[in-house]
A and B are shown apart, each in its own frame.
Chain A
Amino acid sequence: MERLTKDDVHPKILEALLDADTDITVDDALENEMILNMGPQHPATHGVLRLLLRLDGETVVACVPELGYLHRGYEKMAENMSYYEFIPHTDRLDYLSPMANNVAWVLAVEKLAGIEAPPRAQYIRMMVSELARIASHLVAIGALAMDVGALTVFLWTLREREKILDIWDILCGARFTNSYTRIGGVANDIQPEALAKVKWFINQYEENLDECERLLNTNRIFVERLDGVGVISAKDAIDYGLTGPSLRGSGVELDLRRATPYLFYNEMDFKVVTYPEGDSLSRYFVRADETRESIKIIRQVLDKMPQGDTLLNQPKKVLPKKTEIYSRMEELIHDFMIVNFGINPPAGDVYSAVENPKGELGFYFVSQGEGRPWKCKIRSPSFVNLQALPHLVKGQMVSDVVAIIGSIDPVMGEADK
């Protein structure tokens, strides 16, 4: 937090801040209201989020978030590259759960192109997106704990996350920018070592989570800094378009895995975790419980995973295997065509959304029958969830702001696109 000069704040932002209607009044208000700048370089804002807070004493009267410090122009770039080329870019959207984004992207493209991956590939996708959910929630919990002053838990959850990153390392050779899925399947079948590691991980995870929870749930400072802080009612949460744990923390039972099942989620037995209070603490509880449900899903996936291909055999749409490209003419030609001209899905538009760790990640494509999308819109959960921030922090103390940001867990990579 630093002192503001006139040049730092654009007059329009200031205007919005002063206009922001607010019904908060403080009894013995200090004479002067104060405007405080927070971010974009601030340890607790989870990236480059900038907030301008209007304070009365220590009470937040109004807040205006200012985005765009990480606006990388994804949607413009997507219009200029083929559907395959964009897969690595999805890693960097929500960079705490790249695998889940990869899955979301290919599901959307497959819907547009009208193809479907073989069952084994779909089971693998389900497994990796659940692991990604655990990894993301772990960072969310750890960072939230760190924001309110409990550093130990952060190190512990990162340790657990490292184990998942090790699995990625074996599975696709990268720690967290995976680009593992392909249109029509996944890049490679899951290796026995990776599978063994997954099994080992899910067996030891719950014990470790319990350990972290024991540190947090019985810690008075942690609980009291979150309990009743940043409350949003179910109606408001829907009105603000919240999704994911932030919505379920307000007691609304919306989980796209249940509501509009994709992959094989309709065959899985899991509970949609909700907590009714709508405060920061319940959002934390939702995350913690959700990771347990994810473990449950992974167990079922491992049980049910069928044998078979992991890549669809459809040469016009799906990249052939590398070994075949080097040895056979026809595959070489298909590879050349797909790489250079794209997969040319039929003209039309589709919207496809999945339940990501942060909420609903949707892709909206408009295709003109060319190799590149005419338009690609990314509906990112963090962007929408952040919108509720002014509502959540209004009337709270300035020190609660970091806790509230931590509890809605935004990732600026996807919020700014």
Chain B
Amino acid sequence: MDLKEIIAHLLKENFPGVNVELIEYKNELTLRVEKQHIVKVCKFLKENADLQFTLCEDITAIDWAKRKNRFTVVYHIFSLKSKNRLAVKVDVDESDCSIDSVASVWKTANWHERETYDMYGIKFSNHPDLRRMYMPEEFEYYPLRKDFPVMGIPGSLPLPKK
């Protein structure tokens, strides 16, 4: 059985009511889940003895600008046991721009989520320390949103006096 079937099988068995979708593209496996299930699915993927996705490599978001669900949060996780990579995708709508934090599953998620919050303004509930990662705390915009200009908003960041 390849990884796709194993994951599909295991998730079906353990989470009967949860809609999951597995897509394969260019040898990369993507798992789509719904927003409310993200923490328990991640916890399962990490702790299941067959899967062991113990290394969380990256968390980021995609801004689709005009689509119905404006943002997609993407988690890249890696299994040290089978040396496989899995992308987990969750859609987030702009009207309710928040998602549960997975910092309790992987400690490394802490900074990744802070970065995503800084760049996209997606709030991670139950996050231990949700602050801006790069931009000054007073900055009001979210730079990686598609409606933010590359050169920024003049006057939004102060310079020291000459």
A and B touch in their complex, CB below 8 angstroms: yes
Q: Does A270 contact B (CB under 8 A)?
A: no
Q: Mark B119-160, 1 if CB is under 8 A from A, else 0.
A: 100000000010111111100000110001010000000000
Q: Does B87 contact A (CB under 8 A)?
A: yes
- A417-B62 Cα distance, complex, nearest whole Å: 17
Q: How distant is A82 from chain B, measured CB to nearest CB, in Å?
A: 14
Q: Does B44 contact A (CB under 8 A)?
A: no
Instruction: Tell me the A342-393 residues at the B interface (CB within 8 Å).
Output: 348-351, 353, 360, 362, 364, 366, 374-375, 377, 379, 383-384, 387
Q: Which of B9-17, B32-40, B49-57, B93-101 lies at the interface?
A: B49-57
Instruction: Tell me the B45-86 residues at the A interface (CB within 8 Å).
Output: 54-58, 60, 62-63, 74, 76, 80, 83, 85
Partner of B111, one of A254, A364, A383: A383
In the bound complex, do residue A377 and residue B133 qualify as a contact, i.e. CB atoms below 8 Å apart?
A: no
- A114-B26 Cα distance, complex, nearest whole Å: 9
Residues from chain A with Cβ under 8 Å of B60 in the complex: 364, 375, 377
In the bound complex, do residue A374 and residue B62 qualify as a contact, i.e. CB atoms below 8 Å apart?
A: yes
Q: Mark A186-220, 1 if CB is under 8 A from B, else 0.
A: 00000000000000000000000000000000000
Q: What residue in chain A is nearest B143 (Cβ atoms)?
A: A76
Total interface residues on B, CB under 8 Å, equals: 37
- A377-B76 Cα distance, complex, nearest whole Å: 11
Q: Does B21 contact A (CB under 8 A)?
A: no
In the bound complex, do residue A364 and residue B135 qualify as a contact, i.e. CB atoms below 8 Å apart?
A: no
Total interface residues on A, CB under 8 Å, equals: 43
In the bound complex, do residue A379 and residue B76 qualify as a contact, i.e. CB atoms below 8 Å apart?
A: yes
Residues from chain A with Cβ under 8 Å of B62 in the complex: 366, 374-375
- A374-B71 Cα distance, complex, nearest whole Å: 13
- A140-B137 Cα distance, complex, nearest whole Å: 32
Q: What residue in chain A is nearest B80 (Cβ atoms)?
A: A254
Partner of B57, one of A73, A80, A348, A362: A362
Q: How distant is A378 from chain B, measured CB to nearest CB, in Å?
A: 9
Residues from chain B with Cβ under 8 Å of A383 in the complex: 111, 115
Q: Mark A119-158, 1 if CB is under 8 A from B, else 0.
A: 0000000000000000000000000000000000000000
- A76-B28 Cα distance, complex, nearest whole Å: 25
A12-B131 contact given A239-B107, A348-B25, A350-B26, CB 8 Å threshold: yes
Q: What residue in chain A is nearest B137 (Cβ atoms)?
A: A10
Q: How distant is A239 from chain B, measured CB to nearest CB, in Å?
A: 5
Chain B interfacial positions (CB closer than 8 Å to A): 25-26, 28, 54-58, 60, 62-63, 74, 76, 80, 83, 85, 87, 106-108, 110-112, 115, 119, 129, 131-137, 143-144, 148, 150
In the A-B complex, the 4 residue pairs with the closest CB atoms: A241-B108, A68-B134, A71-B134, A379-B58
- Give 18 CB contacts A-B under 8 Å: A10-B136, A13-B137, A68-B134, A75-B119, A75-B144, A76-B144, A80-B150, A111-B26, A114-B26, A241-B55, A241-B108, A260-B83, A348-B25, A350-B25, A366-B62, A377-B60, A377-B74, A384-B108
Chain A interfacial positions (CB closer than 8 Å to B): 10, 12-13, 16, 19, 67-68, 71, 73, 75-77, 80, 111, 114, 236, 238-241, 243, 252, 254, 259-260, 348-351, 353, 360, 362, 364, 366, 374-375, 377, 379, 383-384, 387, 416-417
Known: A67-B134, A76-B150, A241-B108. 5 other contacts (CB 8 A): A10-B137, A77-B150, A80-B150, A252-B80, A377-B74
